[in-house]
Copies of this chain bind each other. A is one copy, B any other.
Amino acid sequence: MVHFSIHTLQFAVEIIATFAFALSGLIASMRKRMDLVGLCIVSGVSAFGGGTLRDILLDRRPFFWVSHSAWLWVLILTCILAMFFMRERHLTFTEKAIQIPDALGLGLFTALGTQIALDLNMPAIVAALMGVMTAVFGGVLRDICCNEIPKAFNDHQPYALLAFLDAWIVISLSAMGLQEWFVLSLAASITTILRGLAIQFKWQLPHHSHIKKN
């Protein structure tokens, strides 16, 4: 019973977060005045790029978007609708609105990615890397497609670092032999809350100011 509702909840979070990741790509590609093709590909890369790269590295098949290919239709439809109805002034609003679902995705996808790598007997640090990659590399590939330095590398916000922390919570709790659904829920929740606090209070990574001075 608990199990059922947890799974339903996890599924709901996955859908909402994947959608938020896709919207981040949609916004970035619209800002670059791309056409429908660019909108679809950049949104798709943002939504599925991280998990796909993880699966290539871990040699896992099928990819999420192959076994749940209906998502690709949702993505295409969203991009078509956005092209017709989204205006400049909607972009900033949407960007704000997706911060919370994006934080949910950061927490959950990192935890899931780490768990997947642990199940394949990867070393802990590799599992952590795979978790971080799942949540962060969609955005990295999005920014490369948009010809920008990836925001994850230089916006000084604690995003990948929170993912890294999330991964280590999963690794530690799993090592204690706790149940998977409990580990995932706890790690994902902590990370989502921390990310929310980071946004609210504008936490910044320490600047390496040394590099600016001599």
Contact = CB atoms under 8 A, between A and B. Distances in A.
A178 interface: no
Copies in the assembly, this chain: 3
A119 to B, nearest CB: 15
A30 B153 contact: no
28 contacts: A30-B208, A30-B211, A32-B149, A33-B154, A33-B211, A35-B153, A36-B205, A37-B205, A38-B152, A38-B153, A52-B57, A66-B122, A69-B123, A69-B124, A69-B125, A72-B129, A73-B125, A84-B208, A84-B210, A86-B211, A88-B211, A88-B212, A140-B145, A144-B145, A145-B149, A145-B150, A146-B149, A147-B149
Interface of A: 29-30, 32-38, 41-42, 52, 56-57, 59, 61, 63, 65-66, 69, 72-73, 83-89, 122-126, 129, 140, 144-150, 152-156, 159-161, 205-208, 210-214
